[in-house]
């Protein structure tokens, strides 16, 4: 199967535009690492001490701690793309170490996320790293039980409640859907699991297992839910991009299939500008701390879908790709879509 390849002029034009922004700035990367890990450790310690006051205070402290855990995930994310440090060894070991805290095996995640970047918006290559999305035709032709499962999966309470818990606590411990010959990814899974067990045992022996879990569990659940929500709104909006493989284009998929999530400045800082997602998909080799600059300095990036923070709740019920209409629709829009077809 072949797809429509962009012409050489298009490739060269984008390469010239993006080339000045590629590569890590070591000073900025180290600063970002310190301003992520140190506040997280301080907030974790504060949450632990707050158990002596009341669990209500622990849960309050867990909110900003979860925010910094998300920021650490963005660092792991950039390490996986090779854009955080110039040294491959440095970024891989930072990514692996952070992955233990995040319950995310770095080598496994890096491989599956690369697949997402290579095929985002391609209807014939849906799979690793995506929110499962059916077309209207696929949904209507499915057996009743499969339609029920899909509706259940796409329900907001499942997608943003149960799914994050399942993904980070269960599936990341044994990702059964990846090939057995991904040896480095599987090794990363087992080493991460072993390191997690070591951390839990050490915490149990020092501060007590119950106290550790009372602090860590709410932080992990809040951070994982926020992370799934962030990923969802960056690709799941009404006028996003999906094409069959023969019509799929990498540059169009990057620009029109990845939103520009406009966040309040404190939230943009906390999430390491991952909301500037269209630039990130155009070139994952651009570090997160340069994404906003690329958007601001180049009009080519300012034509994309802007998703405001206050509008994101309107996106959570989008569930099916209407190929005829070229848009994502809700289940309640099915009758209208069938009539149009």
pLDDT tens digits for range 70-93: 999 999 999 999 999 999 999 999
Strand partners of residue 35? none
Question: Is residue 85 one of the residues assigned to a domain?
Answer: yes
> Can you give the pTM of this predicted structure?
0.90
- Is the pLDDT assigned to residue 219 strictly greater than 70? yes
pLDDT at 319: 93
User: 77-89 in b/e burial notation, b at 16+ Cβ within 10 A?
Assistant: bbbbbbbbbeeee
CB-CB contact of 76 with 102 (8 Å)? yes
**pLDDT tens digits, 301-311:** 988 878 888 88
Question: Is residue 253 one of the residues assigned to a domain?
Answer: yes
6: confidence class by pLDDT, cuts 50, 70, 90: low
**pLDDT tens digits, 137-167:** 999 999 999 999 999 999 999 999 999 999 9
- Among the residues of the chain, which ranges form H helices? 8-18, 26-50, 55-81, 88-102, 106-119, 136-140, 144-153, 156-157, 163-169, 183-206, 209-235, 250-256, 265-270, 277-282, 291-297, 334-340
pLDDT at 10: 80
- Is the pLDDT assigned to residue 108 strictly greater than 80? yes
pLDDT at 339: 63
Q: Determine the average pLDDT of the residues in 80-109.
A: 95
Enter the tokens of residue 143: 């057996």
User: Which residue, 307, 334, 314, is CA-closest to 135?
Assistant: 334
338: confidence class by pLDDT, cuts 50, 70, 90: low
9: confidence class by pLDDT, cuts 50, 70, 90: confident
Cα separation, 139 vs 51, in Å, equals 48
DSSP category for residue 5: P
Helix axes 209-235 and 183-206, enclosed angle (nearest 10):
140
- Is the pLDDT assigned to residue 111 strictly greater than 70? yes
Percent pLDDT > 90 in the chain is 78
- Is the pLDDT assigned to residue 129 strictly greater than 80? no
Question: Is residue 233 one of the residues assigned to a domain?
Answer: yes
**pLDDT tens digits, 315-336:** 989 999 999 889 999 999 887 7
Question: Is residue 1 one of the residues assigned to a domain?
Answer: no
Enter the tokens of residue 31: 């600063």
More confident residue, 31 or 178: 31
Q: Which residues contact residue 320 at a Cβ distance below 8 angstroms, ignoring those fewer than 6 apart?
A: 133, 134, 135, 136, 139, 328, 329, 330, 331, 333, 334, 337
Question: Is residue 62 one of the residues assigned to a domain?
Answer: yes
pLDDT at 131: 86
Q: Find tokens 């985002």 and name the residue.
A: 120
Residue 238 buriedness (CB in 10 A; 0-12 / 13-18 / 19+): middle
Q: Which residues contact residue 200 at a Cβ distance below 8 angstroms, ignoring those fewer than 6 apart?
A: 209, 212
pLDDT at 207: 96
- Is the pLDDT assigned to residue 21 strictly greater than 60? yes
How high does pLDDT run on average in the chain?
Answer: 92
Domain containing 240: what range?
Answer: 8-340
Highest mean pLDDT among 123-127, 158-162, 218-222: 218-222
- Is the pLDDT assigned to residue 227 strictly greater than 70? yes
User: Which residue, 330, 268, 323, is CA-closest to 293?
Assistant: 268
How far is the CA of 161 from the CAs of 69, 99, 214, 230, in angstroms?
18, 21, 19, 14
Question: Is residue 127 one of the residues assigned to a domain?
Answer: yes
Q: Determine the average pLDDT of the residues in 184-195.
A: 96
How far is the CA of 38 from the CAs of 34, 105, 198, in angstroms?
6, 22, 21
How far is the CA of 223 from the CAs of 140, 180, 182, 186, in angstroms?
35, 30, 28, 24
Phi and psi (nearest 5°) for 285?
Answer: -85, 0
Number of domains observed in the structure of the chain: 1
Cβ neighbours around 51 below 10 Å, total: 16
Q: Determine the average pLDDT of the residues in 98-114.
A: 94
């Amino acid at each position: 199967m072949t797809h429509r390849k962009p012409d050489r002029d298009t490739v060269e034009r984008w390469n010239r535009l993006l080339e000045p922004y590629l590569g890590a700035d070591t000073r900025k990367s180290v600063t970002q690492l310190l301003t992520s890990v140190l506040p997280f450790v301080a907030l974790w310690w504060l949450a632990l001490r707050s158990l002596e006051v009341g669990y209500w205070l622990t849960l309050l402290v867990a909110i900003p701690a979860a925010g910094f855990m998300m920021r650490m995930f963005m660092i792991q994310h950039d390490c996986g793309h090779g854009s955080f440090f110039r040294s491959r060894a440095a970024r891989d070991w930072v990514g692996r170490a952070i992955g233990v805290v995040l319950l995310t095996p770095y080598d496994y995640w890096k491989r599956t996320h690369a697949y997402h970047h290579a095929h985002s918006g391609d209807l014939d290559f849906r799979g690793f790293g995506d929110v499962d999305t059916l077309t209207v035709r696929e949904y209507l032709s499915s057996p009743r039980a499969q339609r029920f499962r899909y509706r259940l999966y796409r329900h907001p309470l499942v997608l943003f409640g149960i799914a994050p818990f399942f993904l980070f606590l269960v599936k990341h411990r044994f990702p059964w859907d990846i090939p057995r010959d991904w040896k480095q990814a599987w090794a990363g899974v087992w080493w991460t699991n072993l390191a997690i067990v070591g951390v839990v045992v050490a915490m149990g022996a020092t501060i007590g297992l119950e106290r550790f879990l009372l602090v860590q569990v709410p932080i992990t659940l809040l951070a994982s839910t926020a992370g799934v929500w962030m990923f969802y709104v960056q690709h799941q909006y009404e006028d996003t991009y999906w094409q069959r493989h023969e019509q799929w284009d990498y540059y169009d998929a990057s620009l029109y299939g990845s939103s520009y999530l406009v966040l309040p400045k404190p939230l943009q800082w906390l999430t390491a500008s991952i909301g500037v997602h269209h630039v990130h998909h155009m070139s994952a080799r651009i570090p997160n701390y340069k994404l906003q600059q690329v958007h601001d300095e180049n009009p080519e990036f300012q034509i994309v879908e802007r998703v405001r923070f206050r509008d994101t709740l309107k996106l959570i019920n989008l569930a099916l790709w209407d190929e005829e209409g070229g848009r994502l629709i809700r289940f309640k829009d099915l009758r209208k879509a069938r009539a149009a077809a």
